[in-house]
Amino acid sequence: MKPATRSHGVPSGSRSHTTGPSRARSTSTGTRARETSRRRTAPAPRNAPVPARTKSHSTSHPKTAQRPHRTSAGAPSKARAKVRTQPPRRSESRFRAGSPRHRLILALAVIGAVLFGLIGRVAYLQTNEADDLRSAAADQWTRSVTIPAQRGTVFDRHGAELAMSVPAVTVSINPKLIDNGPATVQILDDLLELTDDEVAELVAEVATKDRGFVFVRRQADADIGDQIAAMKLPGVNVDRESRREMPGGDTGRSVIGRANIDGVGISGLELQFDDLLTGTGGQMRREVAPGGRSIPGSETVTAQPVAGDDLVLTLDRSIQYSTEQVLLEQVAAIGAKGATAIAMDTDTGEIYSMASVRRDDETGAYGVTSGNFAAVDAYEPGSVAKVITIASSLSEGLVTPETSYVVPWRKQYYDDLLKDSHQHPDEVMSVARILTESSNIGTIFVQQEMGRERHREFMAAFGLGSKTALDFPGESPGILKQPEDLWGSERVTVAYGQGVSSTSLQLVAAINTIANRGTYVAPKLVKATVGPDGTVVETEPSEAREVVTERAAVQTTEMMRNVVCSGTATLAQVDGLSIAGKTGTAFKAADNGTYFDADGNRIYYSSFVGFFPSENPQVTVLVSVDEPPAGTNDRFGGTAAAPVFAELAPTLIHELGIVPTPGATGCQTP
């Protein structure tokens, strides 16, 4: 007996050829085979059922399969008749008698269905899920890196760079990939001049190999970075970035502010215009090896970074530098705590310089501050505010420069005995003389002509009590109380600048109103911006509003000229230049709520504000000295601040090309 498996091993073609498509033939063939099998094996009953296995075997045997030809050709035998009496089982017949054509069609149909399914799936993956799958695949072998946009440059009004970004590199290591740790650290130390602590830390990192990323130096010089990159040290990465630099040193630092190590503005204009300066970062894809290391040369920039806009400030670098230097020299000379100064274009409100210097309490050294105290700190302006009171009264027509009052040197108001700066008998003083000699009592008389409410309205119109248009970060609005909120003698001291506080920025803009013929013009610090395509967009002109009449402004200017020529500000004189100005020596409020320090000494805040040429003012300058030494002659505005103005004036004249009015002789009589 042959193994049953042989029946399955017969080629279908052979079977098809020998047996034919007829079911009857197949049946007779099977019958003959069964008979043969019966004769070979054992006698069995004639009609006994034959085991299926045997039948199957005999049916598929090649030799047996050829017999039907002979049988059908000449065998009308009893056997055929007998066979016909035994119908084949239905299942066996189906298995054996499956038409090859049908099977082929079925197989093709199945294959077609499978292929159709595959094609459908492919089409589905290529359409609906293509993006997701593509990105998922890309994520496995690529890394996306943000390309920082170049931060915009800050220029002065003449295009000189005040703050800019320069190429730099970040050096980092992957200790796990470093072969010779100590040698690598030694090389990095030689090139980057690391500190001993940094070297020790790196040596420990490369020894333990715990971390996969360690910063070595950020914002290193690009040249050094190129040297390190050229060595191709394993595990050492050099990535390009930028570093914020101020080519002019600290010049303008108070205004420009700072950006942190990641290039984000954190103070000053860098903070205020951070969105503008930052630009839009780009995207770069780089392929990575299975180990996570980048494949060199595989970088592809998918989105170009767009550089930030550039700022063109109204500052003049030379004037800014001179202002800072003059302030530093003065505060160091008299031993003041600090000082601020602002130079402003009379017509446009453009600020040429805005400086702030201060003494370091620990070292005692003076330096330019990173904070813009000229805009952030508010103090009582003192006698400078008399200009506002007098000009307002003149504008209202309540007084004239010749209007006179009998002015005592001191007078009781509410619970305070208020005094002038110096003792004098009761004397007749004109409004002009009141301003020239800076009489507190006389100024109160003038304010009382106007009334507190109207006086406050004028002070608000001059810009006190609200932030300027600069909206500088941290800018103070100062304090300008409502008349009903004034307490005690404050009701009258606001006339000469006590009981009201303002920033230097507010004060210079207020006095500039007089220089600008009664029209307030908002201070301005940004002249233009430069877009990504290099186009310059000029900023809007400063807001302007008329506050006092031109006549009142001219009259006040003349009084202020007398202040410089024969009043309290003679140290502000410049030969050949007519200057109008006003000094202020205010008491500064201490943290203890009084005007005295812990030692019981008065604390002063001395100022001088002036503009020139007085016939046709072009620039207004305010100098404020914080805490000049009490008990010395340097505590007054005329002695602490006015000399700074006189020192600064030649630079302004030179840089701004100011030509004195023909025939003007300054304070000298022609």
Partner 1 sequence: MIALPLLRDSEARRSKAAAKPSLTVVSRRRRWPALFAGLAWSLVFLGLLGAAVFHTQLAERQLRLDRLDRQVGVERERFDELRYERAELRSPVRLAAAASELGMRRGRASTFVSVTPEAVARQLAAAGPIGDNAVRIVIHTDPLDQFRAVKSVTEAAP
Packed helices 181-192 and 196-208: angle between N→C axes, nearest 10 degrees = 150
Q: Is the peptide bond before 613 cis (omega within 30 degrees of 0)?
A: yes
Closest separation between CB of residue 283 and partner 1, Å?
Answer: 15
Q: Which is nearer to partner 1, 255 or 653 (CB)?
A: 653
Rg (CA), the chain: 49
**What is the spatial distance between Cα 218 and Cα 243, in angstroms, rounded to a whole number?**
9
Closest separation between CB of residue 163 and partner 1, Å?
Answer: 10
Q: Which is nearer to partner 1, 22 or 302 (CB)?
A: 302
Residue type, 366: Y
Tokens of 293: 């290391």
Q: Which is nearer to partner 1, 273 or 445 (CB)?
A: 273
Point out which residues bind partner 1 (CB under 8 A): 153, 155, 158-161, 164-167, 222, 245, 247-249, 251, 301, 306-307, 310, 312, 317-318, 321-322, 325, 530, 532-536, 574-577, 647, 649-650, 653-654, 659-660
Q: Are strands 619-626 and 338-345 parallel, antiparallel or unpaired?
A: antiparallel
Closest separation between CB of residue 298 and partner 1, Å?
Answer: 12
Closest separation between CB of residue 342 and partner 1, Å?
Answer: 18
Q: Please tell me whether residue 287 adopts helix, strand or coil conformation.
A: strand
Closest separation between CB of residue 649 and partner 1, Å?
Answer: 7
Backbone angles phi, psi at 6, to 5 degrees: -65, -30
Q: Which helix (H) or strand (E) holds 313?
A: strand 310-313
Q: Which is nearer to partner 1, 244 or 588 (CB)?
A: 244
Closest separation between CB of residue 155 and partner 1, Å?
Answer: 6
Q: Which is nearer to partner 1, 402 or 575 (CB)?
A: 575
Q: Which is nearer to partner 1, 163 or 385 (CB)?
A: 163
Q: Which helix (H) or strand (E) holds 328?
A: helix 317-334
Closest separation between CB of residue 287 and partner 1, Å?
Answer: 15
Pick from 187, 211, 185: nearest CA to 200: 185
Closest separation between CB of residue 246 and partner 1, Å?
Answer: 9
Strand partners, 361: none
Q: Which is nearer to partner 1, 43 or 662 (CB)?
A: 662
Closest separation between CB of residue 369 and partner 1, Å?
Answer: 17
Spell out the residues 6+ positions from residue 220 whose beta carbon is closer than 8 angstroms to its own.
168, 169, 170, 171, 192
Q: Which is nearer to partner 1, 479 or 658 (CB)?
A: 658
Q: Which is nearer to partner 1, 335 or 576 (CB)?
A: 576
Q: Which is nearer to partner 1, 24 or 659 (CB)?
A: 659
Q: Which is nearer to partner 1, 353 or 503 (CB)?
A: 353
Q: Please tell me whether residue 584 adopts helix, strand or coil conformation.
A: strand
Residue that the structure tokens 């990641």 belong to: 262
Pick from 228, 235, 217, 241: nearest CA to 293: 235
Tokens of 50: 């034959």
Q: Which is nearer to partner 1, 208 or 304 (CB)?
A: 304
Closest separation between CB of residue 259 and partner 1, Å?
Answer: 15
Packed helices 62-74 and 23-40: angle between N→C axes, nearest 10 degrees = 110
Q: What is the DSSP string of 107-160?
A: HHHHHHHHHHHHHHHHHHHHHTSHHHHHHHHHHHHEEEEEEPPPPPPEE-TTS-
Q: Is 499 left (phi over 0), alpha (psi -120 to 50) or beta?
A: left
Closest separation between CB of residue 247 and partner 1, Å?
Answer: 3
Q: Which is nearer to partner 1, 212 or 247 (CB)?
A: 247
Q: Is 382 left (phi over 0), alpha (psi -120 to 50) or beta?
A: left
Closest separation between CB of residue 646 and partner 1, Å?
Answer: 9
Closest separation between CB of residue 317 and partner 1, Å?
Answer: 6
Q: Which helix (H) or strand (E) holds 214?
A: strand 214-221
* Cβ atoms of 75 and 68 closer than 8 Å: no
**What is the spatial distance between Cα 276 and Cα 255, in angstroms, rounded to a whole number?**
17
Residue that the structure tokens 């008979």 belong to: 35
